[in-house]
Amino acid sequence: MEKKTGSIFSLKRYIIFFLLIAFVVTCSFYLFLRNFDFTKEQIQQNAILTFLNIFFLSLLFCVIDGVQRNIMIKRPVNRILALTRELAKGNFKARIHKVSDIPGRNEFDLIADNINKLAEELSGIETLRSDFVSNVSHEIKTPLSVIGNYATLLQAPELGDEKRMEYAAAISGAVTRLSDLVSNILKLNKLENQQIYPEKTTYDLGEQLAECIVGFEEIWEEKQIRIETDLSDDLRITQDRELLSLIWNNLLSNAFKFTGAGGEVRIEARYATDADLPERDPNTAAKRKGDNLQDTRLILVRVSDTGCGMTEETGKHIFDKFFQGDTSHATKGNGLGLALVKRIIDICGGTITVRSRLGEGSTFTVFFNETET
């Protein structure tokens, strides 16, 4: 039950006004009339009149104060309270547009603006939560359906060994996909809640990239993908080795996944030049320190492929959680890889850009400072 904020007239405020005015009037009269000689009857008559004046003046001031409080305080507060009640009920679309009836802006307007911003953020978070639950449900349901269907087929007594191995492999693949989904969700959750902190060491970046590339050897040999590498020697970086490994593995996995048979994947790692830096990227531009790269020594890692590419609209959402350009979900993946990449790069103080054309392939470029800042 809500506590009432009070009415225009308040006995407590009236008593305060009465005592205050009585004190002021008494002191004023004493100072002004102390040198005059009045009879007792005159003093008694004027005392009653003065008391009545104080009584009505106190009432008048109390009412004026109540009206002022009602217009300037009570109404804005009630409107703000009404908004917070709606937010508490889960109505994150609620907004407050007019707080005070007095022209001009005051502190209540600032409070209302902040609550509106909070409501907007909560609305966005609620939408993300709903989308997250919906997408997770879909992504979990798909491999579970595969597992269930193939498990049923495996129970057929007349099933041959070849088909049995095929169905078992399909179940194994679905389990792996489900495991990767859960693993990526946990990693992304820890990164977003700042439960993972970079443990920076200095190591050879080119060597790490080579190890990651070799890890996909089976895939690029099976699809006969040409590998082009340009890894500078002794390219040392001070970053969290494990986190950066997640970046390279996700970027390479996408490159090999979306590149068709006989295509090409190129991996490049070197120090960046002025020509490499995106002109309108504020994060990268801030690292340039007046276009003087010698002060920062930016390292560039670029992964390019000749795969299916993406549209401009897809490129705007490529780092969103669970976003997939392939809406049919025909391609393996859960839409978390690039969201994970973006979050790691943000935490480690780097920058990533994407350039892509539909049907021509994609290029992901990552910038990192050479040393810890």
Cα torsion 207, 208, 211, 213 to 10°: value is -100
CA 205 to CA 240: how far, in whole Å?
11
* Residue-level pLDDT at 370: 76
Q: What is the DSSP letter of 307?
A: S
Whether residue 135 has pLDDT greater than 70 = no
| Tokens representing residue 300 in the block | 């560039």
CA 214 to CA 197: how far, in whole Å?
28
By mean pLDDT, which of 7-11, 18-22, 86-90, 124-128 is the weakest? 7-11
Q: Which domains does the chain have, with CATH numbers?
A: 11-104 (no CATH), 121-192 (1.10.287.130), 203-369 (3.30.565.10)
- What is the tens place of the pLDDT at every residue in 136-193? 666 677 678 888 888 888 888 888 888 888 888 888 888 887 887 777 667 666 666 6
Whether residue 10 has pLDDT greater than 90 = no
CA 304 to CA 252: how far, in whole Å?
9
Look-up: residue for tokens 């792996």?
A: 176
Which residues, other chains included, contact 183 with Cβ-Cβ below 8 Å and sequence gap of 6+? Answer: none
* Residue-level pLDDT at 207: 92
Asked if 7 and 74 count as a contact pair (C-beta separation under 8 A), the reply is no
* Residue-level pLDDT at 194: 61
CA 199 to CA 344: how far, in whole Å?
12
Checking DSSP bridges between strand 298-305 and strand 361-369, what pairing results, if any?
A: antiparallel
Which residues, other chains included, contact 366 with Cβ-Cβ below 8 Å and sequence gap of 6+? Answer: 247, 251, 300, 301, 302, 345, 350, 351, 352
How high does pLDDT run on average in the chain? 76
* Residue-level pLDDT at 286: 39
- What is the tens place of the pLDDT at every residue in 248-288? 988 998 899 889 899 999 999 999 888 887 754 444 433 44
Query: pLDDT-based confidence at 196, cuts 50/70/90?
Result: low
* Residue-level pLDDT at 169: 86
Considering the chain, what percentage of its residues have pLDDT values greater than 90?
13
| Tokens representing residue 289 in the block | 């320190």
Which among 31, 174, 124, 156 is positioned nearest to 321, based on CA atoms? 124
Amino acid occupying residue 273: T
* Residue-level pLDDT at 7: 56
CA 358 to CA 311: how far, in whole Å?
5
Whether residue 37 has pLDDT greater than 70 = no
CA 295 to CA 311: how far, in whole Å?
36
* Residue-level pLDDT at 293: 42
For residue 6, how many other CB atoms are within 10 A of its CB? 14
For residue 79, how many other CB atoms are within 10 A of its CB? 18
* Residue-level pLDDT at 240: 85
* Residue-level pLDDT at 192: 62
Side-chain half-sphere CA neighbours of 123 within 13 A: 13
* Residue-level pLDDT at 288: 41
Query: pLDDT-based confidence at 327, cuts 50/70/90?
Result: very low
